[in-house]
Chains A and B, each alone.
Chain A
Amino acid sequence: GQNIDQPTEMTATEGAIVQINCTYQTSGFNGLFWYQQHAGEAPTFLSYNVLDGLEEKGRFSSFLSRSKGYSYLLLKELQMKDSASYLCAVINNAGNMLTFGGGTRLMVKP
């Protein structure tokens, strides 16, 4: 079966740092994606991890531990425009299907 868990909602302050966690139990694994989705818009790609460790990309970083079935997305220097849903998704062995978590709605307050 496929099970991907992430918190439903988080709130943080402008300029701060926030970490969004994702745990997964899937029958196949060929990498983990993070997407950002503003209300009513398309999900947009943030990061892809397939090896253990931290990938840094500007204000956003993503971490993966395959042995623990765990990932997090770290957002630094939060801006109001970062208010959105953040989707964690696992790609299957065949590389053709993303299984998504329910998404974490992040609200950034002044």
Chain B
Amino acid sequence: GAGVSQTPSNKVTEKGKYVELRCDPISGHTALYWYRQSLGQGPEFLIYFQGTGAADDSGLPNDRFFAVRPEGSVSTLKIQRTERGDSAVYLCASSFGGGAGDTQYFGPGTRLTVL
């Protein structure tokens, strides 16, 4: 079936603006994750959803970042008052049940550029 999809693929915004990034997980996957990847580095964990609830949001850098998954499928990562340091590729992943051995399948990412 289809893999994880993310929209938009690229987003350019100005400092101080609000952005929303969308993730469509693999159908039937209950677990959803957001990561952030800066150039030349590995992805860094932001938040994990099991169903509709944020089970672990310990990676969100500050309260400007928020994510929702209201129906347990599509998720939206929201960033308020964007800063230049928020520029990165935002990756979404999903897995079947969220267990340790469950493979996390990644989407292609949204490249966010804050001018």
CB distance from A27 to the nearest CB of B (A): 13
Near B by CB (< 8 A), chain A positions 25-40 give 30-31, 33, 35
- A63 located at the interface, meaning its Cβ lies under 8 Å from any Cβ of chain B in the complex: no
The binding surface of chain A is classed by DSSP as loop
Q: Known: A42-B107, A97-B56. Contact between A103 and B42, CB under 8 A? A: yes
Interface residues of A in 59-110 (CB under 8 A from B): 87, 89, 91-103
Contacts of B102 in A (CB 8 A): 95
Whether B59 pairs with A97 at a CB distance below 8 angstroms is yes
Listed stretches B14-22, B65-73, B93-101; interface member = B93-101
> Within 8 Å CB of A19, what residues of B?
none
Enumerate chain A interface residues (CB-CB to B < 8 A).
4, 30-31, 33, 35, 41-45, 48, 50, 87, 89, 91-103
**Using Cβ atoms and an 8 Å threshold, which residues of chain A touch B107?**
42
User: Which residue numbers of B lie inside 8 Å of A, CB to CB?
Assistant: 3-4, 31, 33, 35, 40-45, 48, 50, 55-56, 58-59, 91, 98-109
A-B pairs with lowest CB-CB distance, top 5: A100-B42, A95-B100, A30-B100, A42-B106, A96-B48
**Inter-chain contact A98/B104, CB cutoff 8 Å:** yes
In the complex, chain A residues whose CB is within 8 Å of the CB of B101: 30-31, 48, 50, 95
Residues of A within 8 A of B105 (CB): 45
Pick 23 A–B contacts, CB within 8 A, sort by A. A31-B100, A31-B101, A42-B91, A42-B107, A45-B104, A45-B105, A48-B101, A50-B100, A87-B42, A95-B100, A96-B31, A96-B33, A96-B50, A96-B55, A97-B45, A97-B48, A97-B58, A98-B43, A98-B45, A100-B42, A100-B43, A100-B44, A101-B42
A95 touches B99 (CB 8 A): yes
CB contacts (< 8 Å) of A31 on chain B: these are 100-101
